[in-house]
Every structure is written in C-alpha cells, then in structure tokens.
Amino acid sequence: IVCDPRLPRALRGTQRDDMVMNIDLAPTLLDLAGIAAPAGTQGRSLVPLAAGRRPAWRSEWFYEHTFTAADNSIAASEGIRTSRWKYIRYIDADPLYEQLFDLRADPREEMNLAGLTAHRRTLEDLRRRWTAWRAGLSQWKLGQRWTDPA
C-alpha cells in the first residue's frame, strides 16, 4: 500500500498488480527523498508505479529461506515466483523435493503440480530459471549493480 497525498486525485485509490517486494522500500524512500539508490541495491523504487507510469518491471523473483528454524518447522528452501507460478525447491532434502503451484487456479497452494506430466514443461522452465538466479546471485558482489537474470 502506497499513500502519497501529492498524487493527482485520479491516481489515489488505484490498484496495481505489479510484483513488489519489501526490498523495494529502501529505493522508494530514497527516491522520494531525491537520493539515488546505491549501485548494489536490488530493490526498485515504487514511485513510477504510484505515479501511474508503466516502467519495465520484474516478472519474477527469487525466493530463499536458507536456514532451518530451531524447531525444524521451516525447511531450507529456494524458489522462483512469477505472477502465475510458484516453484519451491527444498535444498537440503535428499532426494530433492519440489513443489509447483498454479497461483491462478490454486491461490491457497493446496495442489502440488510438480509430479504431474501435464506441468513438466513449466517445472523444467522454472528449474532453469532457478539455476540462472542461483548462478547470478552467487557471482554478485557487494556494490555491483544488480540485474535480474535474463
């Protein structure tokens, strides 16, 4: 939720479906203050979206939860989230355990599609995307400009 009283009335109360994340908060606040975000900042300013513009925007993001909770209630995992799909890979599981959810058809994530032949191509594509993100993140150095993998 963004509330900017400086926006024109026509833009107040509008809703957007763009994928935003908590890492977008710092670049947004810096932008509002007129300060450029540091080169290594991974988030993006929400100011253009709030102003009604349609900048090139993320179509997916990488998810990681790489530590195990003390009570083992949350397993270490990584994945890819798109506007439609959510792919989760449990990185410490042996054998590998994956989940695939169609968020349009199953927003509550109740049906794991990873083992279904009908979704094999989607699963393979998201595995490739996970590999590209994992490689990009492992090569990224503090202070470098971040670019989402192509």
Find out whether 32 and 47 touch, Cβ atoms under 8 Å: yes
- Three-state DSSP class for residue 18: coil
Q: How confident is the model at residue 34 (pLDDT cuts 50, 70, 90)?
A: very high
Rounded Cα–Cα distance for residues 15 and 49 (Å):
10
Nearest residue to 11 via CA among 52, 40, 39, 45: 52
> Residue-wise over 98-129: b if at least 16 C-beta within 10 A, else e?
bbbbeeeeeeeeeeebbeeeebeebbeebbeb
> Is the pLDDT higher at 3 or at 86?
86
Rounded Cα–Cα distance for residues 43 and 74 (Å):
25
User: Which is it for strands 77-82 and 60-65: parallel, antiparallel or unpaired?
Assistant: antiparallel
List, for residues 80-122, the tens digit of each pLDDT value. 999 999 999 998 888 999 999 999 999 999 999 999 999 999 9
Q: How confident is the model at residue 52 (pLDDT cuts 50, 70, 90)?
A: confident
pTM confidence score: 0.81
Find out whether 30 and 44 touch, Cβ atoms under 8 Å: no
141: which 2 tokens?
């150095």
